[in-house]
Structure 1
Amino acid sequence: MFCIIISTHFLLSLQDPVQITGGVGGSVILPCSYKEKELKPEEINEFWRYNNSMVVYNIDNGSPSIEGQDAMFKYRTEGFPTEYVNGNFSLRLNHLSFIDAGQFSCFISLVDEEHKLTLIVKDVETWNSATAPTSTSAVSCFLISNVLFLISNIMAFHVEYTVYVYKFVKD
């Protein structure tokens, strides 16, 4: 039981603040989804906001709406209407500039859920050189992924073993 609580906490902490990074002049996808049940178009009311107040994009009764959209986002946002019934309310933001950096919120009104993410906008040259893989970063990535794989296997073995012992004692 102790191990299950730790692993659950570990998984939840990984989901906390989502950060999306994009380069000036480029585009990013701001993710937002709801997968609990299939939605009917008339049930879909979702709202994107910037820094808790500015209107970025709305979905009203399953249809995209830019009514009341802040001038900062005019002609720069794209939803994916065919994906709304699947619970995908992600938004593409085009022509990034430094002023776009900040917090975006996706509100799903049907279930009263809010998903927050932080957009970081970097200079393209700085961003490209910082994200270009090097042999050191490739080795680090390989080592980290192997360590995480080993930890997950150890935790899975421990949970499996605990359940087995528990069932054995109960019988």
Structure 2
Amino acid sequence: MNLQSDDFELFGVPRSFAQERATLDARWKDLQREAHPDRFAAQGAAAQRVAMQWSVRINEAYQRLKDPLRRAAYLCELHGAPIRAEDNTAMPAAFLMQQMQWREALEEAASMAELDALDDETQAARGAAIARCGELIDARQDYAGAAREVRALMFIARFAQDIDSRREQLGQ
């Protein structure tokens, strides 16, 4: 194992968007077993600290690889297409219109049924955006295009949190 390896190398999986969750889970368990600090107890405190660093590195890689949004963003970064969500908020006009419609619907939602319908719609949009990320990354190697989809997915994720907050408000 090499601390400088990217997450895909560390986990021994292809550098692609498409990943099998069961493979990632199994590999995570194997790597954690291999790097567990208790295995190095007889070798002293320094060896245990190194093992702890490995354990943290493995967990960070696992969190990135298992989440489609984080995995897509990581692949874009690796291929020179940074997400730059803080300063690059350019979105297609159709997506901006969709955002405005969702925001209005969220403000006007007066029942759990309305929130559920809005949540279903945004989850469908999330699924479609994830599929587009897979196509752009794995089939087309269009990392700049995938970065735009990642920014859209980030908005959808934040909006899903807003829906949950609204549910809590209505539930009180």
Pairwise TM-score range, normalised by the shorter structure: under 0.3
Task: Name the one with the larger helix percent.
Answer: 2
Which TM-score applies when normalising by structure 2?
0.24
Structure with more relative contact order (C-alpha pairs < 8 Å, separation 6 or more): 1
User: What is the TM-score normalised by the length of structure 1?
Assistant: 0.24
Structure whose alpha-carbon radius of gyration is higher: 1
